[in-house]
Structure 1
């Protein structure tokens, strides 16, 4: 082995210095960072190869960066070689004298397939030059077609002039000569173009044929016109070959016109004529069908077939069929020309749209997806147009270039979408790994917080949903991985939810059993509902499923409560005579409340109290008579059997209770029957003691019904008022038990023995009494305000007759005070304003109302003076006299307002 074939040793220290310390870096991340910085210096390929060879053994991640740079350098070198090869081919095409358009288009197509850098120099310039050369050739071919059409139009103008009068032909001669010369100049310009040798071989022949035809017609027209002019000037000159001009000259010469006899067609064999007519009719029918359906290409082919049929059988068919065939051929020619014109018009519109895609303002620029859809739609429309008409290569070239230029926007958008899709894929894969790690670390909920566990799962779902768009193929690849990871994470919650659903189903069955019971157990229902709520708060379930379970759980309990409510309403609907009386009295009290009449309200309240008292008293009498008799018999039996077992005493007690129940049931069964006069009950023995309260006589016994707090109105709910003779208090609806489990004294027993009022009657009488109290308070306040207004009016007018009566002023305003006020008003203004102000201050102190700010100092001074006068009466004791002094002074609006505030308080006490 020679020295040249031996491998060159690699010095790691040199490479480390070359790469900026990448080989001696402490971590892989630092090594990759230094490699990236070194690659930015554009090192030589040999250095890249040495570093990659040494680094691929130590750190594959950092070596991957170097390998990518090597691959990029190889690709760049390959691109240069490829570019040089295709540049030589392009230059050869440009240098050739006769360029074939197909070869130029094939060069661009093949270069793109081979991966040549067409967007870089020199291929970019060569591609532009070839495109300009091809565009010039195509434009030249298009101008040849235009010149051909112009020659046809000029020939038609000349032929039309041969049917016009001679004077019109002479007038149009100069214009025609100018147009023909201009056409000839344009045709010569096309031939002298440098690209003329590269046009298709058919176009020079077309131009030559059009030129020859136009010149033949033009020369014949000039010759015929010259003959006609000479014949018009000289009667001996020969007539022109144009029939219209010849007839015009004959008329000018005075020669009569003789119609030329029509040459009769020779007789033809009927069988031969029939075959000819059939052939022409078949071709004619095809042409008419294609023209009627608007098929341009098919109508052209059918017209060609009809022309061939006319050439072969034209002399054998009749005149009518011949005229129909010529009319059909004319229609087919018009359709073909119209379709060609319409197709070119549509192509020009598509070209304008394609070129305008990139000429939009910045605010109206089209996005990538919209641009892609627009280009696809434009190309589809172009294909449809080519299917119905003759292709136009020049317009197609412009259209294709505009579409290719606009497609660059689509390419940029596709690259962006591809990059975003890769990023979104990485995010979704990271999310899948994250949920897998979370599932492995959380096999159960922390502190049994399953709702928090469920919220975390929902958060993962939201992140997956918002992870960005990916393609359908990629999504189909990632979705199964996500579902498997999510199912693994949600497995603990699903197991607990299954247990919770089983527990809830058991509670639903228990609710059905409770609802089916004849007597609804409220405590059991509350306990069951609490258990359900605890289960619902602890374990989350799908909202729809949870709502269905809750409806199934609630249904039997609601039905049980509805049955109970229906039974209660049914019982309340069957009111007895006692409830009706109370209801009528309550309705009358409500009507009195609405009238606003205090006397009517008080009368209605008395009627309602009488109804309540009368009901309780009547029932108490009946119950007392029966209960006393039965109790006496039971007591005798108990005394006779005092030594009997406990069961006997219990039986006696039950007998007493049964007797009481029978009395009550008898009373309910026949409430209208007159009860027998009950025997007077013996007066109970009450311990008598002297009343040591102040003002009471010691020999007066204390009422056992009075409480230890004395005569207190309505001492507790259901108590009696000592002032109304033992009327039933607010809320008496039935018997009340004392703290020892038995009934109270006899009076309370008599009251409690009355049957309970129905719920409707009880609520009606309670609401009526409350409304009555409020109405009386409101009326009293109104009356009090009116009385104060009358007092102030009497002071202002100094008229004692305007003072309200003493009973309207209130209990504290005695008749003597009103008399003093009357005298003060009748005596005139005898008190000075300063003295009246001092009396007004005493009144404000008596009423404990605030004094205006400007009189606060005077009030404080007066208070200090009163403190030094120990024996003088207080302002609260002399407010009536002070009021008289104020009324004796002159009326003042400010003092009147202060007096009104004072009396508003003092008259209510």
Structure 2
């Protein structure tokens, strides 16, 4: 086959470039022109519009991959959306996990309140979305279950107190006449069975299995004690009734009833021997015993109050020894206090031991659950070499009497190495904290330690793997350093002056170094200096070229400064200098910040020269128009009204100022010619000045024609956007109305139809789009406000608004003073109106205040004032701080009661119903200052 001559094939680089261009065009069409947009702001706007169409994740990733190398700002929108999708998926997984845990808790017959509260706390720490489904539903179910358990426990305590009260009623009847007891027995026969039925209802409740272990014994003890007292009362009452009917019947065992029956039979009362007096004790010995028991009692009460289980046990033993030694010498009150403290210490010690063991069992279960049991992997079936043996095994398996052989199970770790290490560290720290709060349990510790040691084998394997990977990463980094050195020796200069390719190669080496894998701090500190030396040697030619480029750019900056300071700005020289700058920027790349800084310095003198020309052109329009004078006069009137302090006058003058701002320049509009003449060539600036000042030659016929013309519809309101008006700042260019001749032609430097030097900087003229004569005719909306008028009206409005706010605050203070006066004189008619009090006070609340002032003054406002100060979050007098803290603690225990922030209106009514007092009035006024502002 003869060789193919005269044919050229595209290179791989050309093919890849064409494919990439095709992909970019497709993505540009997909995103609505995000890649072809000329500015970064337009690209970001089109990306934002495309994201509103809810594209797929794959499309967003593809667009982000291509756009991130072109425009970081526009690609940031895609990255944020992708990160949001990723977070949403992660939260869904977390929500599913914690939802399953909550359902497991709900499915248990006995729910521990601490476990339910711990679930919510741990779920919040893990970042689970508790406010969204399904976690919101299970959270509410757990809350209802916990509320039911707590309500059941509260009912148990209530039933216990009711049993005590019933027993006391029965015991009190034993001190009265048996006839009174007989009359009260009818009510007791209904109350006691009712109590028994309520206690049985508690036992039948579905949440009874979940109550604390100390409540069932309490209820059973109350139940049995009440039954014993009731049975004894019924027996004694029946015996007393029989003794009253039959004189030979035995007397009841109740002494009061027996004496009453003896008197009815005419028998003398039974002589009761008096109690022997106690032997006298030495006062010094008694005081010493009282001091010893009091000290031991104070130590026990302190440890119990702080919740120290171990310390409270030792203090309780010391108190028992003190009672054994000095129990006969102390009074009954101190002895009762000591026994009560011992009971509390015993309950605390038992609860902490039970709670500590419960927490240890949970930690043991977590440690043993670090491994899960799973079926062993299925091994491939053996080749059919022994057909007879295989047939025998199959027949045995299919026979009815054959016993199924369970599949082999193996233990697999639930987590990887790093997470297993963190989990083990956390479990051991939790075990240490449990040991600090309760006595140790060696049996549970042995199980826990064995499970942790078994799980640590996974951590050890992971550490070995990490060490091997670190060695591999170190070798890869050393190889990269050698590769950089070899490349630097082969490329002392850029190939064909391609410094951008040279910079790209250096950047690729840096990226490979950053992605070369993890190293320990010691190894990284050892290799980092070698890498810096190698990459600095490789980048030395580029740094030299960049230094020379910076020098050339500084020279061009000096040329720009000379051109800008010249009296006549040469547009051709400016364009040539800009082209040289662009050529230099495309040849040698610089750091983005440094290049931007140099560009700003290069552009500054030229921009200042153009700004000077603009300032000279604007001097002609500095004279005030009739509209400016009207605005200045209205602004002055607003300032005078503001100084007077009259709110109505201020509002009236502000309205007049607004009318002056909305009104057009009537004299200028009337003086404007119907068909302005085209200015002479070379006199554009003079014509612009004459039109800005309203000085144009007008014939009477033109005025009549303008007067006879029909009125034009009102133009749509235009919101003026002002730029930076600081001294020395560059003013934004003003888009003037497109009218043939007149202002539009005169304001363009260089004469009618000429081009400004700023247009030359922007690029070639866009004459291929449309000609100037083709632009649509805009309606003349009159001149803009001058700088003095604009500043004057803005400052006047700001001062007026500040004065109105100050007057409103003063009126608010007067309303509070009037309310305090109404309280002092107890006159509901002096209460301020609803408008004066503000929207925070409803008409119903104001009526309640009036009714409170109409009643008689009684009561103590101390607690109500504390509630108001808590609601308003204002300071409390020093002598009431302790009471405020106690009230806050009480409010924390009342979960289902409305807080002070919700009931402050009713609280104010309670205070107004009490007698007036100057200190209370000051506290009430301080609280209302904050509450009425909300």
> What TM-score do you get using the length of structure 2 for normalisation?
0.34
Larger radius of gyration: 1
Give the TM-score, by structure 1 length. Answer: 0.35
